[in-house]
Amino acid sequence: MVNNAIIAAFGLDAANFEIKRFGSGHINNTFLLSAIGDDKKYVLQKINTNVFKEPAVIATNQRLAAEYLAVHHPGYLFITPIQTVNREDLFVWEGDYWRLIPFINDSTSVDQADNTKQAYEAAKQFGKMARYLDGIDMRPFKPTIPNFHNLTLRYSAFQEAIPQAKEDRKAAAQDTIEEFLRHSNIAITYEQLKTDPAFKDRLMHHDTKINNVLLHKTTFEGLCVCDLDTLMPGKLISDLGDMVRTYVCPVSEEERDLTLIHVRNEYFEALMKGYLEEVGATLTEVERKHLFYAGKFMIYMQGIRFLTDYLNGDVYYPIKYPTHNFDRAKNQLTLLQQLIKKEPELQAIIDQCLAQKA
């Protein structure tokens, strides 16, 4: 589906490149363009417009952040798309939106954290971006997906999906539905927090999976963050929580053997340390009190998003088999239960990291 016209729009000649699919994200279509004969590379992406209804907002948010960072933190590596020959951030071809991103040399990414250094380095990158963007005027920024991490609405969507689901799916998922409903206090806490002015609005990444950080391919030191589609105003619990969700468990959200799901304290500590070393000094009191809550918030939200999609007949997440979303929801529920079980010891780790910061 990539064609010469799309590549030419960015001033490149397709004949000079080898083009391959790249990455393992759920949402966009990503391609790697590798120059034949030299090591120049680009990342070409088709934005999923079912998810991002206004792709121009993505480009504007990214550019506003880049301009601010260039002034206030010169030298910071912040990925900015390459403009088309007509000086546009996006190229529209037959209704599809494409963008070209410079490939960061000597970078790699991992789909799963398999040592604590990776977790620390990745968290530090997200923390650094949050710290550098702390203080930016948020008024010109718009949501690239309205209500993306609004747990109140995600919870309502889940409740609405239950009576509308096909009987066989509802019956199969009954126990899982009940267990998620039993944890509705997580949604209630969010409801109370979101109106608290001390629960600060920040420019957040909103998708802090470890493969959205580029690491040096040999030293595994953090280079920068990528996948900035959901850079928009939000809350600290989104970025911190998604790291907890995706770094602490030895297996991913795709794992069906639930006995393999548990919380690795040393990864929890590594990511907390990396993140708080960067943003610790900017935290408000209410944010500091909700650092453990962040993990519950994100795991719960992701769990009900998968379950809602299963009940709705798999309209959002791509699936490989009929119960894929249901399995993902059970995976997240197990992770949530494991995290909650360890709250006292994990809170002690947080307190220790905060004390080191002070």
Task: Kindly provide the residue ranges of all beta strands, DSSP E only, lying in 103-174, ordered along the sequence.
Answer: 107-108
Binding residue (CB under 6 A) for ligand ADP from 123, 226, 232, 299? 226
Min separation Cβ 5 and ligand GN1, Å: 26
Q: Name which of 30 and 338 has its Cβ closer to ligand ADP.
A: 30
* Rounded Cα distance, 41 and 30, in Å: 13
Q: Count the site residues for ligand ADP by CB under 6 A.
A: 19
The residues binding Mg ion (CB under 5 A) are 25, 212, 227
What is the phi/psi pair of residue 248, to 5°? -80, -20
Closest to Mg ion by CB, 103 or 155: 103
Sheet holding 222-225, edge to edge: 107-108, 213-216, 222-225
Nearest of 301, 282, 294 to residue 135 by alpha carbon: 282
164 vs 323: CA distance, rounded Å: 17
Taking CB atoms within 8 Å and a gap of at least 24, the contacts of 258-266 are 258/330, 258/331, 258/334, 261/331, 261/334, 261/335, 261/338, 262/338, 263/335, 263/338, 263/339, 263/342, 263/346, 265/342, 265/345, 265/346, 265/349, 266/116
Contact 279, 130 (CB under 8 A): yes
User: Which of Mg ion, ligand GN1, ligand ADP, none interacts with 210 (beta carbon under 5 to 8 A by kind)?
Assistant: none
* 109 binding ligand ADP? (CB under 6 A): yes
- Name the minimum Å distance from CB 145 to ligand ADP: 13
Cα–Cα distance between 130 and 132 in angstroms, integer?
Answer: 6
HSE toward the beta carbon, residue 109, CA cutoff 13 A? 20
**What residues between 58 and 87 interact with ligand ADP by CB under 6 A?**
79
Closest distance of CB 293 from ligand ADP, Å: 26
Which is closer to ligand GN1, CB of 7 or CB of 58? 58
Query: Measured from the CB of residue 255, what is the shortest distance to ligand ADP in angstroms?
Result: 19
- The CB-of-82 to ligand GN1 minimum distance in angstroms stands at 21
d(CA 197, CA 234): 13
Candidates 103-111, 149-157, 232-240, 316-324 — which segment interacts with ligand ADP by CB under 6 A? 103-111
Between 83 and 212, CB nearer to ligand GN1: 212
Considering CB distances under 5 to 8 angstroms, the limit depending on partner class, which of Mg ion, ligand ADP, ligand GN1, none binds residue 51? ligand GN1
Q: Which residues bind ligand GN1 (CB under 6 A)?
A: 25-27, 51, 207, 209, 230, 253, 302
The angle at the Cα of 117, spanning 121 to 258, to the nearest 5 degrees, equals 105
43 counts as binding ligand ADP under rule CB under 6 A: yes
**How far is C-alpha 325 from the geometric centre of its chain's CA atoms?**
18
Rounded least distance, CB 333 to ligand GN1, Å: 15
| Residue ranges in contact with ligand ADP by CB under 6 A | 22-23, 25, 27-28, 30, 43, 79, 101-104, 107, 109, 211-212, 214, 226-227
